[in-house]
Amino acid sequence: MDLNKLTAISPVDGRYRRHTENLAPYFSEFGLIKYRVLVEIEYFIALCELPLPQLKNFDTSLFPKLRNLVDDFSEKDAEAIKTIERTTNHDVKAVEYFLKEKFEELGIQEAKEFIHFGLTSQDINNTAIPRSLKDAMEEHFLPLLQEVKNQIAQYAQDWSGIPMLAKTHGQPASPTRVGKEFMVFVERINRQIDLLATVPYSAKFGGATGNFNAHHIAYPETDWVAFGNRFLEKSLQLKRSHPTTQIEHYDHLAALSDNLKRINTILIDFSRDVWQYISMNYFKQKIKAGEVGSSAMPHKVNPIDFENAEGNLGIANAVFEHLSTKLPISRLQRDLTDSTVLRNIGVPLAHTVIALNSLKKGIGKLQINEEAIHQDLEENWAVVAEAIQTILRREGYPNPYETLKALTRTNEKITQQSIFNFIETLEVSDEIKAELRQISPYNYTGI
């Protein structure tokens, strides 16, 4: 059975491919191979620019042609590398042999042994993967997250003046404003984006066990540590971890995973709140012609976008959790468990992207139902008791909390009239009574 959207095992590459295909250039097998080629080419150019004695006369005008091997990298090229891998049974070595063939085609075979010079596989993997992650985050993921955050922020502004009954412990509480409650999520996301910007994209680069053994034995006069730092920062825009074992520490990747998990947790919280508001009829959803809400109940318009988002964010967080707790652990100087785990780094990002697109769609369908919100406030005049007892405290009235508790903590419905009747019984000035009568669930919303 051929692989396509209908036969893919994972919904990331099947049902939801339209949402995730933009991540394929970064996290697919093709993407990983291409980024490996990028690292190998940039490393060779850096050796020429060092320069190593044997490369000091290399024709620098060929650099653009070498970089074209990356820019023009095709699925045919990736297939050629996979063909080589079937013989080598080693994916990174297959990239080296592929590039050596390309050097021969360019007539520069005398320099081909400096491809992958002194390196181990993880010098390539632990630079290719963080670079692909950096590109995916900056070029696709973060802009999409910003779009969703901006949607929420726009509603926060549009609905800033609409009073709404708050619910603490699921019970009526001091009124708030719809826009303010949306702004809470904007602020939380903003703070996590700020933290995300402090996490560097780290990479390992230092030979078989991180000590530049092969480099140093061949060229002992060269400052290879300085070279490695400069190469990663200048050529790959990555931060070099030092010292390391054979592999990257992954501590910063763990921090990034935890950071993304927190963002997703905030979005789960948002999804559940909006779902609840929809069930309370505070929001209606725009109806799209032809859509079906239920296979049995024609009237239904389900909040499926927020449910889809919650589900995918949960899956993403489960994988992010595994990445953050597993990757920083490796036996001695290295075991292979990081390799297979790293191949899944695009999976939680893909589920998060699916969720973000669902949220984007769901948020765009929201229509505020001020009538229902207003009615809920009208049904809960008891929430002004806090305001009344606070003013009575200010005025030195005896036992104000207990007085209001006796009024409101009964099974009788509290209405505007019962509040007004209660105010009339208070032994306070007419001026204070007038002040108390001005308080309502619609204006007791704070600042």
Active site residues: 169, 294
**Amino acid code (one letter) for 409:** R
Rounded CA-CA distance 386/434 in Å is 17
Rounded CA-CA distance 350/378 in Å is 44
Number of alpha helices (DSSP H) and beta strands (DSSP E) in the chain: 20, 6
**Amino acid code (one letter) for 73:** F
HSE at residue 345, side-chain half, CA atoms within 13 A, is 30
Rounded CA-CA distance 236/251 in Å is 19
The helix or strand, by DSSP H or E, that contains position 176, with its residue range, turns out to be: strand 171-177
The strand ranges marked E within 340-391 are 366-368
Rounded CA-CA distance 413/22 in Å is 56
Residues in the chain: 447
Pick from 140, 223, 156: nearest CA to 190: 156
Pick from 122, 120, 140: nearest CA to 26: 140
Q: For the chain, how are helix, strand and coil distributed in percent, rounded to 5?
A: 65, 5, 30
Rounded CA-CA distance 338/329 in Å is 8
Pick from 354, 416, 335: nearest CA to 383: 416
* Range 96-100 contact pairs with CB under 8 angstroms and sequence separation of 24 or more: 96/40, 98/37, 99/37, 99/40, 99/41, 99/69
Residue 242 near residue 225, CB atoms below 8 Å: yes
Rounded CA-CA distance 346/401 in Å is 56
Rounded CA-CA distance 412/51 in Å is 88
HSE at residue 255, side-chain half, CA atoms within 13 A, is 14
**Amino acid code (one letter) for 303:** P
